[in-house]
A and B are shown apart, each in its own frame.
Chain A
Amino acid sequence: MGVMRLGYAHVRVTDMAEAKDHYANTLGLYETLSEGNKTYYKAWDEWDHHSIVLEEGGVGLVKYGWKVQYSSDIDEIEKKAKAFGVTVERMSKGDNPEIGDGIRFTTPSDHVFEVYHEATCVGTEVGTHNPDAFPRHLVGVGVPALDHSLITAEDPGLMDRFLSDVFGFYATERVQTSLDSDADIIATWMTNSTQIHQLAVLAGPQGKLHHFAFRLGEWSEVGRAADLFSMDDVPIDVGPTRHGITRGQTVYFFDPSGNRNEVFAGGYLAYPDRPMHVWTPEALGKGVFYHSRELNDAFTSVLT
């Protein structure tokens, strides 16, 4: 099936002690490794060694890791990326702790992607044998998993083609300048599974991070997360509210270095044959923030 999911997001933080407090104590991630200036985390319902890597020094994105189902998928993606005109390099087992061989390339949007097949399986926090529904002693929000990310690019239409051609993704929703066939794509939400989006791309500067999101089950968990952000003095950007696009329920908030995070619940099931939702500029506010129906200034300007 090729790419299964966004395996890891590797981001920079200005102060590791503050970042660790946020990701471990507010969000409830489990630290799996601390080495040099990097700390590795997994969420409770994830089984691979890590899904978040924090690196001290600076802000913003270092790279994403995408996990594929079969090792042959790596070769397939390498061929397709080269055919698209992208320079691909090989990475070796151990370049990233507990991650196997793979490839690395810079996308047309100037983001670094790694593609890998093997990661050390450490297991979920509830195991696989007669597992309970959730761990009894979750910390803070207790997010179960990394969900998706939104990045910016000067040409979202080009990234839409890149992710389609190289990863086999399809668009579930788009923001376009109009319904005309030659309309410009302003933003695109893409996946290759029933998950409503794995990566979204918004028009903006090259190489920037808008946010990465953690999964939650439903509305009340989103509200509880917002309560915890107030307890821990986490700056809330927007929410709790709903996105018109994806129909997901959300809080946008910032980590202690200013990287935007999200908790995201719901969203409908995606299928490749489902007619794509198209949003046009007059309804963009409602598409992004379904209740305020206004696009705040920060949504398009605040990036790391």
Chain B
Amino acid sequence: MLRIANAQVWVHDQDEALEFYTTKVGMEVRADVTLPELGFRWLTVGPAGQPDVAIVLMAVPGPPVMDEETAEEVRTLTAKGFAGTVFLTTDDCQAAYEEMVARGVEFTETPEKRPYGIDAGFRDVSGNSLRLTQLIDSEPS
């Protein structure tokens, strides 16, 4: 059986991203380990109620992992909002929206009704897109 463990987003600054995902979005740190001999920091966060899934906040590496031109392209794509999207669900989109707005999260879309539920969208500090969706209970009543 396959299960999703971690998925990665590129971030421009790991400290800034950590601050955003924990204090503004409300996630918790799962792992934060620096391997100084490699100049590498493994940093993951996740929702408190879902301990087996995490988001890796990955710094864009330089050479030799990634040549400087490619690294710059990845940073630019992230800043332009084209580096991917994380889809979150919540049981109360409006309440989560209001709480995050109060903490300074910039929403690109306020909660709106959709055929599948109530949906809002925001960006992290690097430009990654995140959706916040309250799904309609699809179980037959």
* Genuine A/B complex: no
Footprint of B on A, CB under 8 Å?
none
